[in-house]
Chain A
C-alpha cells in the first residue's frame, strides 16, 4: 500500500527542506518515492537544484526519487483544453473566445488544481502503484486547509445539486459525478491513519504554534487523525554564545515547553543550521542530523566569504516617498509568502504612518491572520479605532464570515423581490459553492479599498499564491464582464456598476502614485525567488514592486560568534541579491531578541526603521 505523507506548516518554517530531507532518506532506503508540491509558489526545483516542472521527473543523484510540481496555471490550462476540445472543433470563433474567457475564472482554477492533486491520492489498489511513498509538500497553512476542506464541501454541494437544479457552479452534475468518487476516495485515503501521515513543521514561536493548532483543529474536523510535529530552527548551543541569539534561544525554550504541553503528538526537533539546505548531498547530511542525531556543528563548512557589515539599506527619503500619502491617498500592499513577516511589516508601517498623523486603515484578508497578536489587541471584522494609537483603525476580513454576510444579503434581496422559497433554495445551493468565500472576501476588499476617508490603507495580504489569485481577480472579472454580451437590461446595469468598481480598483493598484506593492522576504535564497516569481506574476497584471522588505536581518554589531557570522554572511549575499533583482528601495527589519508585540514596541521599531521625525510632504 502506498504511504502518503503531507508536510504542512506556515511558509518559511522549513517545510520544503524537511519534506525533501525525508524524501531523500526514504529513497536512499530503497523505497520508490515521489515528492509532489501543490504550492503555487513552489521551490522544490530550488532545493534540488534542477528543473522539475509539471510532470513526474527523476531527481539526479538520488535513485528511486522523483518529483513533480503541480503548477496551478498549467493544471487550469489542461483542464480548460480538455473541456474546450469539442467546442473548439464545432463552434464559431466568437463563441469559443467567450467560453475560454469564462473558463479563465477563479472557479476553474480551483477545480483544476484540486483535480490534479487528487490524481496522486486516488490510487487504484489492485494494479500496483509505482511508488511506495508519496510526499506532498503542501501549500502554506491557510491555503492547504482550503484545499483539503474542498472534498467535504464539494460532496455536499454535489449531492445538493443532483437533488436540485441538476447543476452547480462546477458544471453539470453528471460531469462531476465521476470526479466525486475520486474526491471521496482521496479523502478516505487521507483519513487512513495507517496510510497517511500529516507532518506539521513549526518554529518554537507563538504565531507558528497558534497556526499549527489551528491547522490541526481544522483537519481534525475532517476526521483526519495521524499528526506528527517537527519543531525546526532550534538555536544550537554554539549559536547561543551571542547575546541576541541567547535571548532568542531562551524565548525558544519557553515555546518548546508550551509545545510539549499543548500537543500530544509525536514530536521531533531540528537544529537551526548556519547555512542553507540545497542539493542532494546537503539533504543527506541534514538527514544524518535529523534521523541519526549527529551534531550539526560537524556539518558546517566554515564560510570563507568575509563579512562586509555593509548597511545595504536604501535612503530613508526614497523609502518614505513610497509609503507616505503624497497629497492623495496611498495604499500599501504587503506581499510575500506566509510567515515571512508581512503582518509585522504592515503593523510597523501602519503605526508609523499613524504617528506621522495620517489617518490609516490596516486590514487583512488572510484566513491565517494574526493582526491582533502583533498589535496585542483584538481586531474584529468591523473597522475599529485602535485604543492607544490615534489615527489608526484596523479590520480583519474573515473569508468565511464575509461569505455568510454576502449570502444573507443576496438571499434577503431575493426574498424582498418576492422570489418563491423553491427558487431561494436553488440560490442557496449555489451560494454554498467554494467560490463564494473567495468572492465575498474580495467584495469586502473592494469595499474598503474604495473608501475615500483614509489617507493610508495598509493591506496585510494573504500568502503569495492566494494573494495573486485574489489580486488578479479584478482583471479576470472585468474581462469576463466585457464579453458578457447576453445580459438583460437589469443585468447590464448591474454589470456597469460592478465594472466601474473593479475598474477603479485595478487603476488604483497599477498606479505607483496611489499604490505601493512591498514584497516581504527573508534574506534567503528560496524566499527571494518566491517573492521574485510573485512580483513577475503581478507584473503580468500591470502591477510592479515599489519596495522590498528584508525581515529578520542580523544587525552587524551582533556578529560576535562564528555561528552568527556564518548566518550574517549568508544574509549579506542575499541582501545584495535582493537589491540587484528588484531594483527598488530596501527596508530592513532587524532580527529582534523577542517577538514583535504591542503598540509601544511597534512605535519604537517604526522609528528605528523609518525615522522618528515628521516627514513634511
Chain B
C-alpha cells in the first residue's frame, strides 16, 4: 500500500508568504504539552501567535515533519538550517525576512519588525 501523506506533496497554501512565519524545531505539538515536561516558552509563543492573529495578521507555523516544503521553498531558511542545523531553529520570518534564529522573539520584537518593514 503506497499511501502518501498528502501534505508532503503540496506547496504552502499560498504563494504570497504570511506576514509572520514560524519555522519551528521538531516537536510533538506546538504548546509542548505532549512532551514529558512542559515548556513555558512554547506556551508564550502560542500566546504571541494568538495576539498577532487578533491584529488580523496572517501567521503560519511550520514543522519539519508536516511541512517540509515550507522549509524547502525558503532558500534563506534552508541556508541557515544547513549551516547551523538544530541551532538555527526556530527561525522567525516577518514579511519574508528572517528576524530571529535559534530563539523565539518577543511579541514586541515581532511588532517592531512588522512596523519597520512598512
Could you show 10 A-B contacts with beta carbons less than 8 Å apart? A83-B65, A91-B71, A92-B85, A102-B27, A167-B30, A169-B29, A171-B66, A477-B36, A480-B35, A502-B36
Instruction: Please state if A431 and B33 are interface contacts (CB–CB under 8 Å).
Output: yes
Determine which residue in B26, B37, B40, B49 has the highest number of CB atoms from chain A within 10 A of its CB, and name it.
Answer: B37
Binary interface profile of B, 10-47, with partner A (CB < 8 Å = 1, else 0)? 10000000000000011111111111111111110011
Q: Which of A94, A178, A486 has the most chain B CB within a 10 Å cutoff?
A: A486
Q: Which of B6, B8, B41, B65 contacts A491 (CB 8 A)?
A: B41
- Of the candidates B25, B28, B35, B50, which one forms a contact with A422 in the assembled complex, judged by CB atoms under 8 Å apart? B50
A368 to B63, CA, bound (A): 37
B64 x A490 contact (CB < 8 A): no
B36 touches A481 (CB 8 A): yes
Are B41 and A490 in touch, CB under 8 angstroms?
yes
B82 interface hit (Cβ, 8 Å): yes
| Chain A residues engaging chain B, CB cutoff 8 angstroms | 82-83, 85-87, 90-92, 94-95, 98-99, 102-103, 105, 107, 119, 165-169, 171-172, 174-175, 178, 410, 413-414, 417, 419-420, 422-423, 426-427, 430-431, 433, 435, 439, 477, 480-481, 484-488, 490-491, 494-495, 497-498, 502
CB B2 to nearest CB in A, in angstroms, measures 9
Tell whether A172 pairs with B7 under 8 Å between CB atoms, given A86-B68, A420-B47, A495-B37: yes
Cβ of A427 and Cβ of B31 under 8 Å apart? yes
A90 touches B72 (CB 8 A): yes
| CB atoms of A426 and B68 under 8 A apart | no
CB distance from B75 to the nearest CB of A (A): 12
Chain A: CB-nearest residue to B34: A169
The residue in B1, B25, B34, B61 that gathers the most chain A C-beta atoms within 10 A of its C-beta is B34
Whole-angstrom CA separation of A495 from B7 in the bound complex: 32
| B65 and A494 within 8 A (CB) | no
Which B residues between 59 and 110 are near A, CB-CB below 8 angstroms? 61, 63-69, 71-72, 78, 81-82, 85-87, 89-90, 103-104
**Chain B residues within 8 Å of A498, by CB:** 36-37
B4 within 8 A of A: yes
Q: With A and B bound together, what is the CA distance between A520 and B35 in angstroms?
A: 33
Q: Which of B10, B41, B90, B104 has the most CB of A within 10 A?
A: B41
A450 to chain B, nearest CB (A): 15
| Known contacts A83-B5, A435-B34: A487-B68 contact under CB 8 Å | no
Size of interface on B: residues with Cβ below 8 Å to A: 51
- Contact between B68 and A90, CB atoms less than 8 A apart: yes
Q: Which of A169, A178, A423, A485 has the most CB of B within 10 A?
A: A423
| Distance between Cα atoms of A96 and B4 in the complex (Å) | 19
Q: Determine how close the nearest CB of chain B comes to the CB of A116; give it in whole angstroms.
A: 9
Chain A residue numbers with a CB within 8 Å of B6 are 174-175, 178
Q: B89 touching A486 by the CB < 8 A rule? A: yes
Residue in contact with A426 in the complex, picked from B40, B46, B86, CB distance below 8 Å: B46
Chain B residue numbers with a CB within 8 Å of A491 are: 32, 37-42
Q: Is the CB of B81 within 8 A of A92?
A: yes
A169-B28, A491-B41 known; A410+B33 contact, CB < 8 A: yes
CB of B34 within 8 A of CB of A433, answer yes
Q: Which residue of B lies closest to A85 (CB)?
A: B8
A481, closest chain B residue (CB): B36
Chain B interface, >50% SS class:
loop
Known contacts A427-B43, A433-B29; 7 additional CB pairs below 8 A are: A86-B68, A86-B69, A167-B29, A422-B47, A426-B31, A435-B34, A491-B37
Measured in the bound complex, the distance between the Cα atoms of B8 and A98 in whole Å is 19
Q: A-B pairs with CB below 8 Å: how many? A: 151
C-alpha spacing A435/B29, complex, angstroms:
11
Kindly state the separation between the CA atoms of A103 and B64 in the bound complex, as whole angstroms. Answer: 12
From residue B91, how far is it (CB to closest CB) to chain A in Å? Answer: 11
Interfacial chain B residues near A490, Cβ < 8 Å: 39-41
B115 contacts partner chain A, Cβ-Cβ < 8 Å: no
Q: Given A82-B5, A420-B47, do A488 and B41 touch, yes or no (CB 8 Å)?
A: yes
**B residues less than 8 Å from A497 (CB atoms):** 37
A445 to B69, CA, bound (A): 40
Chain B residue, CB-CB nearest to A101: B26
Contacts of A103 in B (CB 8 A): 65
Q: Which of B32, B33, B65 is packed against the most chain A CB atoms within 10 Å?
A: B33
- Contact present for A107 and B28 (CB under 8 Å): yes
User: For the complex, what is the distance from the CA of A175 to the CA of B39, rounded to whole Å?
Assistant: 25
For B56, the chain A residues whose CB sits under 8 A away are none
Complex CA–CA separation, A475 to B34 (angstroms): 16
A296 and B63 CA atoms in complex are apart in Å by 61
Contact of A95 with B7 at beta-carbon distance under 8 Å, contacts A102-B28, A172-B63 already known: no
Q: How far is the CA of A85 from the CA of B9 in the complex (A)?
A: 11
In the complex, the answer to whether B33 meets A427 with C-beta atoms within 8 Å is yes
Question: In this complex, what residue of B is CB-closest to A406?
Answer: B33
Instruction: Provide the residues of chain B in CB contact with A83, threshold 8 Å.
Output: 5, 8, 65
Which residues of chain B come closer than 8 Å to A165, judged between CB atoms?
30, 46, 49
Closest 8 pairs (CB-CB, A-B)? A491-B39, A488-B41, A172-B66, A494-B37, A486-B25, A498-B37, A175-B7, A94-B85
Note all chain A residues with C-beta closer than 8 A to B29.
167-169, 430, 433
Task: Determine if A423 and B47 form an interchain contact, defined as CB atoms under 8 angstroms apart.
Answer: yes
User: Complex formed: what's the CA distance from A342 to B3 in Å?
Assistant: 40
Docked complex Cα distance between A375 and B39 (Å): 42
- For the complex formed, measure the closest distance between the CB of B88 and the CB atoms of chain A, giving whole angstroms: 9
How far does the Cβ of A106 sit from chain B's closest Cβ, in whole Å? 9
Q: What chain B residues lie within 8 Å of A502 (beta carbons)?
A: 36
Contact of A417 among B32, B40, B65 (CB under 8 A): B40
A149 to B76, CA, bound (A): 44
- Closest A residue by C-beta to B50: A422
**Chain A minimum-CB-distance residue to B90:** A486
